[in-house]
Amino acid sequence: MKIAITTTGDNLNAPMDARFGRAQKFIVYDLDSNSFEVVDNQQNLNAIQGAGIQSAEAVAKTGARAVLTGHCGPKAFRALSAAGIKIYNISGATVSEAIEKFRSGQIAEAVSADVEGHWS
């Protein structure tokens, strides 16, 4: 199973990006093969509107089945849910710490958006 983690960097030691829609990058991590790829989200960083929706579309294209991020707004939540992608809110961790927490079942699945749109 693949999971997507929002990040500001391009390796597993990089800090997470607290934002989902305007996250700088996604690390798409394959839990089975322990390999990952970096997906740039630059085009959504500067979107006039609907960054969360487009980020959800970008994540869906990678085949990820779960998103680990700081915060997720209502439109992104609706889009991710429509794609069957689960959302996990986690803050202040590096990418690898987030993956370990997810793997050991320490983070609960979000059941709704945890912030309004444009929260930052």
Partner 1 sequence: MIIAIASGKGGTGKTTISVGLAWALGSSAVLLDCDVEEPNAHIFLAPEFQESESVNLLVPLVDESKCTGCGLCGKICRYNAIAMLNQKPLVFSEMCHACGGCALVCPVGAISEVPRAIGVVERGFAGAVEFVHGRLNIGQVFAPPLIRAVRKYAKADKITIVDSPPGTSCPVIAAIRGSDFVILATEPTPFGLHDLTLAVEMTRALKIPFGVAVNRVGIGDDRVRRYCAEQNIPIVLEIPDDRRIAEAYSRGEFLTDAAPEYGALFKALPERLANMARGC
Binding positions for partner 1, rule: CB under 8 A:
47-51, 53-54, 56-57, 60, 75, 78-79, 82-84
Name the CA radius of gyration of the chain, rounded. Answer: 13
Query: What is the C-alpha to C-alpha distance for residues 35 and 87, in angstroms, rounded to an integer?
Result: 21
- Asked if residue 58 lies in contact with residue 26, where contact means CB atoms within 8 angstroms, the answer is yes
Nearer to partner 1, 52 or 70 (CB): 52
Longest dimension (CA), the chain: 38
Nearer to partner 1, 103 or 118 (CB): 118
Nearer to partner 1, 63 or 92 (CB): 63
Nearer to partner 1, 78 or 101 (CB): 78
Neighbours of 7 (CB within 10 A): 26
- Angle subtended at Cα 25 by Cα 117 and Cα 31, rounded to the nearest 5 degrees: 105
| Least distance CB 73 / partner 1 (angstroms) | 12
| Least distance CB 116 / partner 1 (angstroms) | 12
| Least distance CB 58 / partner 1 (angstroms) | 10
